[in-house]
Structure 1
């Protein structure tokens, strides 16, 4: 019975850490020790489809007309959390990417933006609780996403342009996806001036669609 309980505990830890892995020099995620991991399902000239397992994040919400303004305020709260503003006073390693939930809205409307930092593997199972009431821990579900990548800086303009571009490609492919919200995803420090990598994600509904079955990558 004790052996079984121990095995279950190990499996739970492995499951919790499954979405966080070491950075690789061959990848676009190189500035932090650990990054969010994924499986690539298929790829076209315009986008790719990825599978992400459930993983824990520290997050905060900000209401604003602009993603840029919301991101500045939200980043400060989350940075304070990983700098030791948590119930255990622990400093937590920065990971990548930083993800922003971007609502589908008109530019003159206010929206709720949610920024999230990925928790590193040693804090996935039992993260320190935030002391700021506007900061919270949450777990993203197992999901598949459509992804379009781009360089430069992630701003409300560049994010909006690529979100529109990805939507056009998905609509042409007759793909089903959640149109109410997309994710702006950044992998670089604000200090990095070159070789920046950003992404736009839309969550897949039903079976993922690639334009050609010959482009699918079979994963074992």
Structure 2
């Protein structure tokens, strides 16, 4: 069983390397998270995300996969009627998981969030599940590394560590106790998947050996 899990993980990492394509990141929902690009380095970029509301829940588990299944089900119920208005709310992209930095044998708290669509940003309906809540992000600047394939504990860990190494090499200041894993695709999408790792910048981001990017919304 351990051998099989390891083989599956290895194949998924190969898929991640083969299928990376940021141009199709936001293609499955009509609304996606907006941002202003700040700069682009060889292996990562920096973005500014404006203040925005999410619907959020948390799960404690040893592994992201187990926590994500339970958290996703709970949030999906919210957008399909488990809210104070009893209304269906449009799905958006990306689905974001706040990933704790921890040893793999220890439990961790995983926080999953769905972006609320524009017409629910000002006054979102209240969740009927006590474990679900509305979460407002302040303006946030993040360092981002994109990759393809399936997002799982192994692929996220490898890409997070790679981004950390790139940031540390440039003495970038960022939050090191956690990062965000962002997924842009339905579980039914088999190919050309896109995922991202985000680290929150502590200061104004800089991308070594890069030019400042034109400010455009992500849509």
**TM-score normalised to structure 1 length:** 0.86
Structure with more contact order per residue of length (Cα contacts < 8 Å, sep ≥ 6): 2
What's the CA shift for 1:209? 2.1
Gaps of 5+ in 2: 1-22
Moved over 3 A (4+): none
Shift, 1:216, TM fit: 2.0
Structure 1, unmatched stretches of 5+, are 1-25
- Which residue is 2:212 aligned to? 216
The whole-number CA distance in structure 2 between the counterparts of 1:110 and 1:125 is 35
Mapped partners of 1:206, 1:52: distance in 2: 14
SS at match of 2:134: strand
Cα RMSD of the aligned pairs, angstroms, is: 1.2
Deviation at 1:171, TM superposition (A): 0.4
* Higher Rg: 1
CA offsets 1:52-82 (integer angstroms, 9 cap, x no match):
0000000000000101110000000000000
Residues 24 and 192, structure 2, Cα contact 8 Å, conserved in 1: no
Query: Aligned partners of 1:58, 1:218: CA distance in 2, in Å?
Result: 30
Q: How many residues in Structure 1 have an aligned counterpart in Structure 2?
A: 194
Q: 1:201 aligns with which of 198, 203, 218?
A: 198
Q: Is contact 2:37–2:214 with CA below 8 Å preserved after alignment? A: no
When normalised by structure 2's length, the TM-score is 0.86
Pick aligned residue for 1:121 from 118, 135, 139: 118
1:206, distance to aligned residue in structure 2 (A): 1.3
